[in-house]
Structure 1
């Protein structure tokens, strides 16, 4: 895999030879919080199949919602549709789950490995329209690198 963005290269170096998903999510969310300007929350939700919900994983930022039903809010919708959702104004998103009232915009990228749906990367910002198409492409590449380091327990 050719890695274009500096952030994705940093992630690849950080996760190489580490096989613990929790540790990798923790370091990935810390890297994003450290490197991305104007964000207030970076983190992961992992999918729990028998409950059909996303559950809070490692993150950086204020306390967060723990359980999100598949198809609910931005995270659940992105996971359910298996596509990135970029929201300019979270107040305009039908069914938005307001974990932090200071959150104004959001991007959520679904994560999967070998056809197994893992969860989502969620990033919030305290300003409207924070995430551009270029940000989306860079973060989707970041997720692809993260996916290459996921360990799936069968």
Structure 2
């Protein structure tokens, strides 16, 4: 397991995601515990990009339940279809929200969050979790973030299938 990340903070985001993904694979390689792996992925994303909040919500019965995260305290449970996370779950598609205050039904876990990206983690065409990333800046995310976070969500799906 790698215990440090190597990246150039002056590189553009697309380059940083490309450099980060193999390091994330190395970080989780051989670790059988899902929670440990997701915790390290959240920490690595926050460290690499300085995001305000990064975390996972897993599908449990009819709600999303808070899992490993980095950042301020968060909402513990989110109902199906509610807020940005619930929309990503219900629609099984990534949600890119430049201004969370303009998103109908947004759940304000933190009043400091201003923009958000939520990517579903899919296993066998079913959403098993969502990767939630918040910024304290308006319109903080780019297409490179969406693509990069979708690649991380794919890694999470592999972890989900291989771990407990």
Give TM-score scaled by structure 1 length: 0.91
In the alignment, does 2:160 pair up with 1:147?
A: no
Which of residues 39, 44, 58 in structure 1 aligns to 2:56? Answer: 44
Higher relative contact order at CA 8 Å, sep ≥6: structure 1 or structure 2?
A: 1
Residues 1:71 and 1:152: Cα distance change in structure 2 (over 3 Å): farther
In the alignment, does 2:74 pair up with 1:61?
A: no
> Any unmatched runs of 5+ in structure 2?
1-16
Which of residues 106, 116, 141 in structure 2 aligns to 1:96? Answer: 106
Q: Is the 8 A contact 1:7 1:142 kept in 2?
A: no
- How far does residue 34 in structure 1 lie from its aligned partner after superposition? 0.6
Using the alignment, how far apart are the partners of 1:28 and 1:57 within structure 2? 12
- How far does residue 153 in structure 1 lie from its aligned partner after superposition? 7.9
Q: Which residue of 1 aligns with 2:3?
A: none
Q: Is the 8 A contact 1:16 1:149 kept in 2?
A: no
Using the alignment, how far apart are the partners of 1:131 and 1:152 within structure 2? 30
RMSD: 1.6
Which of residues 15, 18, 40 in structure 1 aligns to 2:28? Answer: 15
Q: Deviations over 1:54-113 (max 9, x none)?
A: 000010000000010010000000011000000000000000000100000000000022
Q: How many residues align?
A: 148
Which of residues 80, 86, 92 in structure 1 aligns to 2:90? Answer: 80
Question: Displaced runs of 4+ in structure 1, greater than 3 A?
Answer: 151-154
- How far does residue 115 in structure 1 lie from its aligned partner after superposition? 3.3
Residues 1:75 and 1:130: Cα distance change in structure 2 (over 3 Å): same
Q: Which residue of 1 aligns with 2:137?
A: 127
Give TM-score scaled by structure 2 length: 0.85
